[in-house]
Amino acid sequence: MRPSPGKVRETLFNWLQFETQGKTFLDLFSGSGALSFEALSRGAKQVTSVEKNTNAVHFLKQNKQLLKTDNLAIFKQDAFAFLNKKPKIPFDLILLDPPFNKNYLANALKLISKNDFIAIGGKIYIESEFEITMKFLKTHYLTKTNLSKQKKSGAVHYCLVETFI
């Protein structure tokens, strides 16, 4: 588990400061749930966390109980198994922070696009070990996107991708 550095998390939510209220989030490869809990604290309507690691899921459930929130759904499941089923309603924002150096990012993006996980006009936040380019997005994501923001902190590249028709 490699949690998002605090500085990176702060930048992400500064980018989204006027866009979290009342929105639905999907936090894939959720890990400790830092991004999920931050989204909730910033007014997200509903957050869905997907994590397969038993210890991490236990930690997520403990924190959910401490916060006494009903706005967090936790799935102890492999992210790709989760993405293989179409959602009932697409998400407004997807937080995508897969383990590095495993080619998970490309596969996750393909399934997000193929199975309509993101709402029209939604955003995808990505953390990766390499810089995300428009060429990478066009190769691995089927719908139209725009790379709206991008930064690097240490070895972590992170960006915000907007989707459109």
* CA 120/CA 54 separation, integer angstroms: 33
Quick one: 65 exposed, middle or buried, by C-beta within 10 A (0-12, 13-18, 19+)?
exposed
Least confident of 41-55, 99-113, 139-153: 139-153
Which of the two residues, 155 and 73, has the higher pLDDT score?
Answer: 73
pLDDT at 39 over 80: yes
Rounded average pLDDT over 115-137: 94
| Residue 93 tokens, joined | 């924002």
Q: In angstroms, rounded to a whole number, what is the distance separating the alpha carbons of residues 150 and 165?
A: 22
> What rounded mean pLDDT belongs to the chain?
92
Q: What percent of the chain has pLDDT over 90?
A: 79
pTM, entire model:
0.93
For residue 65, pLDDT over 50 is answered with yes
6: pLDDT strictly greater than 80: no
Tens of pLDDT, residues 69-122: 999 999 999 999 999 999 999 999 999 999 999 989 999 999 999 999 999 899
Q: Which residues contact 121 (CB under 8 A, 6 or more apart)?
A: 162, 163, 164
Rounded distance, CA 3 to CA 16, Å?
A: 19
Domain architecture of the chain: domains with CATH: 6-164 (3.40.50.150)
Question: Which amino acid is it at 125?
Answer: Y
Which neighbouring-strand residues pair with 118? 91
How far is 57 from 63, CA to CA, in rounded Å? 10
- Say if residues 121 and 140 touch (Cβ distance below 8 Å): no
Q: Which helix (H) or strand (E) holds 147?
A: strand 144-153
CB-based contact 148:16 (threshold 8 Å):
no
Tell me the two tokens of residue 68.
């006494």
pLDDT greater at residue 2 or residue 162? 162
pLDDT value of position 1: 45
Calculate the CA 61 to chain-centre distance.
Answer: 18
